[in-house]
């Protein structure tokens, strides 16, 4: 990786070279600075902030105002990484809404936007790209549909899902998406999808064969001990370390 600003062309070149793309989420200034100092090429201001920052039960309650607030905080770090922001639930139901809300996120500091879905959201996707805003696709398990689907389920296990995922990936690539996030897609299908499309795939819970991986940073750092996820094993027990430090500090104050 070089010291120059990461662009969508950078990510495309990484796929061509077979260089894996490591991406994480950030929602505030200090975490963005830390992640950028490590040299990550992509930072996502995910609507996962609804659960890991704001305490919502899922992402469907996150608003545009909340997304803009956190995008501004991330952008103030002036990261070298490409900053992508999620379009929140019901913010891209029409092409006009999609463009207006994508432009709002860009005005807040995002350099690209992400939305969930394939063929069913092509008109909004095409409108966003036509407006000059880079677009990151998201296929597989779609958190915005968690309520009607009754939870988080792995996709691609049955042939109809397999075919639909490939067709949606083809459609997003043809529409001009610069990359796709396959979430909770069976590893064989994620591998096939990765080999099939000319744009990078950045998987989460989709096996090792995507062009890259993305995780929710608090999950990676073990900051949410109240939740257990099958697709990520924390690399740090930050929650317990934080409790220990605060407990020791508290005791030092009490004993004075």
The answer to whether the CB of 71 falls within 8 A of the CB of 83 is yes
Number of alpha carbons in the 13 Å side-chain half-sphere of residue 103: 11
111 annotated active-site: no
Q: What is the pLDDT of residue 240?
A: 92
Beta bridge partners of 139: 182
Query: pLDDT digits over 148-181, tens only?
Result: 777 778 999 999 999 999 999 999 999 999 999 9
Q: What are the Cα distances from residue 108, in Å, to 6, 25, 85, 166, 200?
A: 18, 17, 10, 33, 25
- How does the average pLDDT of the chain come out, rounded? 94
CB atoms within 10 A of CB 18: 7
Catalytic residue among 66, 68, 111, 183: 183
Q: What is the pLDDT of residue 2?
A: 46
| pLDDT bracket for residue 1 (50, 70, 90) | very low
Is the pLDDT at 229 greater than 90? The verdict is no
CA-to-CA distance for 124 and 102, rounded, in angstroms?
10
Q: What is the pLDDT of residue 79?
A: 98
Q: What is the pLDDT of residue 151?
A: 75
The answer to whether the CB of 201 falls within 8 A of the CB of 211 is yes
Query: pLDDT digits over 74-110, tens only?
Result: 999 999 999 999 999 999 999 999 999 999 999 999 9
CA-to-CA distance for 180 and 139, rounded, in angstroms?
7
Please state the rounded mean pLDDT for residues 229-243: 83
Q: What is the pLDDT of residue 198?
A: 97
Tokens of 184: 């909770």
């Amino acid at each position: 990786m070089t010291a120059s600003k990461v662009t969508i062309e950078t990510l495309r070149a990484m796929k061509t070279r077979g260089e894996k793309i490591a991406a994480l989420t950030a929602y505030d200034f200090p975490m963005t600075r830390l992640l950028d100092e490590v040299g990550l090429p992509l930072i996502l201001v995910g609507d996962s902030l609804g659960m890991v920052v704001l305490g919502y039960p899922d992402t469907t309650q996150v608003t545009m105002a909340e997304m803009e607030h956190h995008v501004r905080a991330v952008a103030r770090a002036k990261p070298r990484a490409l900053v992508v922001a999620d379009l929140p639930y019901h913010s891209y139901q029409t092409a006009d809404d999609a463009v207006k809300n994508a432009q709002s996120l860009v005005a807040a500091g995002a350099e690209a936007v992400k939305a969930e879905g394939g063929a069913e959201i092509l008109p909004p996707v095409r409108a966003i790209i036509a407006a000059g805003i880079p677009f990151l696709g998201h296929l597989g398990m779609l958190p915005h549909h968690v309520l009607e689907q009754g939870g988080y389920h792995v996709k691609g296990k049955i042939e109809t899902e397999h075919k639909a995922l490939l067709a949606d990936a083809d459609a997003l690539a043809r529409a001009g998406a610069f990359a796709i996030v396959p979430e909770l897609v069976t590893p064989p299908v994620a591998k096939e999808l990765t080999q099939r499309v000319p744009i990078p795939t950045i998987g989460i819970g989709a096996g090792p064969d995507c062009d890259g991986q993305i995780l929710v940073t608090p999950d990676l750092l073990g900051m949410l001990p109240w939740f257990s996820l099958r697709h990520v094993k924390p690399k740090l027990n930050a929650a317990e370390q934080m409790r220990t430090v605060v407990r020791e500090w508290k005791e030092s104050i009490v004993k004075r």
